[in-house]
């Protein structure tokens, strides 16, 4: 059972990942390992699982397909499979004949070869006497060898140094306003405000344990796409939580009030004015806010998020060495050039926007997005980092995020969830929380 703190922490982790227009992987059938006792009389239950818990192999992926036939009728037919790249290119296929007697369980082994390092999808189809189904799986082949084919801009570091210099010239005008109506006996809630790049007003929430004369470690939670982050509550007496609503999201819409796909393309034709430049600076301004507060531990700052929040967490950790720990779940904008013709978001929105802007091209947009690609931030991250990927993610292919992971030069760890798409795993949330407590020397 998760404690109340962990439950609330889990809820906010979901908000950090989800987008206003989420894209999830196809539904995957996952069942309890098939047994005749677990099945209802007259059912046919099927499942397929990789023999490796992470579905990562050296050369040959190995799967076991189980058919649990609790009917009295013999099931005769085929199990076939189709192997594709993560972007849908068909690579190979095969099929075998199957026969499962009534009241029996059949198990079938599949060895699927894939020569090149990367991630692959495989669809298993069963067609027997009284049952048809398709199960979606994925696996990796030597992912530690995945590399990007696209170079980092030579002036990448200079570009972001200029942005930080511009931010430093903006007076932050920090405000921290107690909200008694939102507070609890154990936790105080504050509305926080600050001025960021371009003199844009940014808001968020700070919740602190109602403990006097104590300094708190800080979790800075960064939002998923078009998500309004609320205050975060809990019983951890050592941790303060800041949920930041970057410009154009949540209660930070004063200067930018776009919606849905309009946000991701806001000034995308100009890398110096693109909305994400300001958004990343908003995150760094939040670090400035932490440093302005005496009750917050400046040496124990944990930055985290998923999807867009994961992208922001890594960008912040790359640009600001005051970050002590970083966690990124399936960050977007990962080696984006490699999927420009393959994924819907944000590419579909970008291509739609281009049609409204005479003279604007996909190549021009990609030239600008090179300055926002997570893989180009990754080499500069020096703090310890935890990442996660779902192998069935159709939003961010796992190969893209693994490209980012391979470019990290710091102490790093990645968790692979073989049956998840663009989702949050409760296992990751619990591990992430325990990891932070261990690294910061905090004990619940």
Structure tokens at 307: 């999807």
pLDDT at 89: 87
- The residue ranking higher by pLDDT, 198 or 396, is 198
Please tell me the predicted confidence (pLDDT) of residue 4. Answer: 45
DSSP codes of every residue in 336-372:
GGGGTTT--TTHHHHHHHHTTSTT--HHHHHHHHGGG
**Residue 55 CB burial class (10 angstroms; 0-12, 13-18, ≥19):** buried
Structure tokens at 232: 């975060």
Model pLDDT, residue 19: 41
The pLDDT of residue 118: 95
Q: How high is the pLDDT of residue 86? A: 81
- Residue-wise pLDDT for 360-416, tens only, equals 999 999 999 999 999 999 999 999 999 999 999 988 899 999 999 999 999 999 999
For 134-177, write each residue's pLDDT tens digit: 999 999 999 999 999 999 999 999 999 999 999 999 999 999 99
CA 300 vs CA 45, 324, 407, 425: distances in Å: 49, 6, 25, 25
pLDDT in tens, 65-119: 999 999 999 999 999 999 998 878 899 999 999 999 999 999 999 999 998 999 9
pLDDT at 395: 86
| pLDDT tier at 2, thresholds 50, 70, 90 | very low
pLDDT of residue 90: 94
Give me the mean pLDDT over the 246-256 stretch: 95
The 10s digit of each residue's pLDDT in 318-356 is: 999 999 999 999 999 999 998 877 777 788 889 889 999
pTM above 0.85, yes or no: yes
| Average pLDDT for 242-266 | 93
Contact 284, 316 (CB under 8 A): yes
Q: Is the pLDDT of residue 264 over 90?
A: yes
CA distance 364 to 62: 43
Q: Please say if the pLDDT value at position 18 is more than 60.
A: no
- pLDDT single digits (tens) 30-62: 323 334 345 567 899 999 999 999 999 999 999
Per-residue pLDDT of 298-310, as tens digits, reads 999 999 999 999 9
Q: How many residues does the chain have?
A: 444
Half-sphere CA count of 19, side-chain side, radius 13 A: 24
- Is 395 in contact with 306 (CB distance < 8 Å)? no
Q: Determine contact, residues 78/131, Cβ cutoff 8 Å.
A: no
- Split at pLDDT 50, 70, 90, the class of 260 is confident
* Rounded Cα–Cα distance for residues 16 and 378 (Å): 20
Q: Which domains does the chain have, with CATH numbers?
A: 4-23+150-440 (3.40.50.1820), 44-145 (2.60.40.10)
Percentage of the chain beyond pLDDT 90 is 81
Give the per-residue pLDDT at 424: 83
Please give the pLDDT value at position 35.
43
Q: Measured between alpha carbons, how far is 51 from 108 in angstroms, rounded to an integer?
A: 12
pLDDT average, residue stretch 244-273? 93
């Amino acid at each position: 059972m998760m404690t109340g703190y962990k439950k609330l922490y889990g809820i906010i982790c979901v908000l950090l990942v989800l987008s206003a227009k989420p894209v999830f992987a196809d539904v995957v059938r996952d069942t309890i390992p098939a047994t005749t006792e677990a099945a209802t009389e007259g059912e046919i239950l099927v499942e397929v699982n990789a023999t490796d818990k992470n579905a990562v192999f050296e050369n040959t992926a190995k799967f076991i397909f189980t058919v649990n036939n609790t009917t009295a009728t013999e099931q005769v037919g085929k199990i076939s499979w189709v192997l594709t790249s993560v972007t849908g290119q068909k690579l190979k296929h095969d099929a075998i004949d199957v026969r499962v007697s009534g009241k029996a369980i059949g198990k079938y082994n599949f060895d699927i070869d894939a020569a090149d390092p990367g991630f692959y999808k495989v669809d298993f189809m069963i067609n027997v006497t009284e049952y048809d189904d398709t199960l979606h799986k994925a696996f990796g082949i030597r992912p530690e060898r995945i590399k990007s084919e696209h170079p980092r801009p030579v002036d990448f570091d200079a570009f972001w140094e200029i942005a930080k210099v511009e931010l430093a010239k903006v007076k932050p005008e920090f405000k921290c306003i107690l909200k008694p109506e939102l507070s609890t006996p154990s936790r105080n809630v504050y509305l926080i405000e600050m001025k960021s790049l371009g003199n844009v007003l940014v808001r968020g929430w700070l919740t602190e344990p109602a403990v006097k004369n104590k300094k708190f470690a800080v979790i800075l939670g960064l939002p998923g796409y078009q998500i309004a982050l609320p205050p975060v509550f809990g019983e951890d007496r050592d941790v303060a939580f800041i949920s930041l609503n970057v410009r154009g999201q949540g209660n930070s819409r004063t200067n930018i009030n776009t919606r849905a796909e309009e946000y991701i393309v806001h000034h995308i034709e100009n890398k110096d004015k693109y909305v994400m430049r300001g958004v990343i600076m908003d995150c760094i301004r939040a670090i400035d806010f932490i440093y302005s507060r005496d009750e917050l531990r400046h040496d124990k700052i944990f930055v985290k998020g998923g999807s867009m929040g994961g992208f922001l967490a890594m960008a912040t950790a790359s640009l600001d060495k005051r970050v002590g720990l970083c966690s990124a779940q399936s960050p977007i904008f990962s080696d984006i050039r490699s999927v420009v013709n393959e994924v819907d978001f944000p590419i579909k929105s970008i291509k739609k926007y281009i049609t409204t802007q005479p003279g604007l091209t996909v190549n021009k947009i990609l030239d600008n997005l090179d300055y926002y690609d997570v893989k180009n931030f990754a080499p500069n991250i020096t703090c310890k980092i935890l990442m996660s990927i779902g192998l069935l993610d159709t939003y961010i292919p796992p190969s893209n995020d693994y490209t980012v992971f391979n470019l990290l030069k710091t102490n790093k760890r990645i968790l692979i969830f073989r049956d998840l798409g663009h989702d949050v795993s409760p296992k990751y949330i619990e591990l992430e929380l325990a990891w932070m407590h261990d690294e910061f020397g905090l004990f619940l």
